[in-house]
Structure 1
Amino acid sequence: MKGVVHMEFLEHGQTVNSERYISTLQALKLRLRSVLGDKDSILQYNNARQHTSRQTQYALRQLELTTLLHPAYSPNLAPSEFFWFLQLKRYLKSHHYDNDEEVIAHVRRSCRGQLSEFFADGVRQLVKRWRLCVDLNGDYVEK
């Protein structure tokens, strides 16, 4: 709840497949261990194919990462649709960049510039949205 624990950037033209996502999960697990020690953490992700593949599910079990499943038809539960990423999209859209390095620098700067309360508020918003989804028995939740 205090901030971003792990951040990676893909090379230009690279896509995320199960193999790449598992590599990210392995790096995340190491980073979580160094930042949180033995404290519990929960990974939330959406239903993209690379997140739900057999290889990824096996890796999640092997890495002992606790996950919060993403209900179908609930795009408003994805952090990329409401929290830091939405604000980041607006921020990046309002600037001009000459190369990828400038974009990466701005993303890092934006992340470092947020107070821990900003991230805690995002988690509280997620909990509120999840409760609404549970109360509706998984039905689609309007924004």
Structure 2
Amino acid sequence: MSGQYYTNLLTKVCEAIVQRNDVGNRTTHVTRQTLKDKEFSEIDHPPYSPDLVPSDFFLFSNLKKDLPGWRFADDNEMKTVVDRHSEEKDTEYFFSGLKALYARSEKCISLEGDYIEK
């Protein structure tokens, strides 16, 4: 996976959000309102914290555990396997990852950003 792959993926996600909401500048408002309606709390985070990067903390670390030793013939094969891996996970899988990230964030806040040992 390359930086360009992630850039393209994020671009596609952003385009989908804009299309879905039909008005790009409403996205943040709509998302925050939905989180509030679902009783999620919004937490601030530093611009970069190796302890709190959601993709590294939960998604990619678990992907590496679930797909050890895979070798892909090309990017399309890799994308297919990663998409299938994500689609096979139920809601609780992702929810537990968010809860763990929230707990780690709270710990980081209480330590005022100091390093968190595992």
| C-alpha distance 93-123 of structure 1, shift in aligned 2 (>3 A) | same
Q: For residues 59-102 of structure 1, give each alpha carbon's deviation from its aligned partner in whole angstroms, at most 9, with x where no partner exists.
A: xxxxxxx8843265x31211222212111123344222111111
Higher strand share: 1
Question: Partner residue of 1:27?
Answer: 15
CA contact (8 A) 2:57 2:101 kept: no
List aligned pairs for 1:1-143, cutoff 5 A.
14=4, 23=11, 26-27=14-15, 29-30=17-18, 33=21, 38-40=30-32, 68-70=44-46, 72=48, 74-143=49-118
CA contact (8 A) 1:77 1:129 kept: yes
TM-score, length-scaled by structure 2: 0.65
CA contact (8 A) 1:76 1:142 kept: no
Q: Residue type matched to 1:26 in 2?
A: C
- Structure 2 residue runs of 5 or longer lacking an equivalent are 23-29, 36-41
| C-alpha distance 22-103 of structure 1, shift in aligned 2 (>3 A) | closer
Higher helix share: 2
Q: Relative CO higher for 1 or 2, CA cutoff 8 Å, sep ≥ 6?
A: 1
- Structure 1 residue runs of 5 or longer lacking an equivalent are 1-9, 43-65
TM-score, length-scaled by structure 1: 0.55
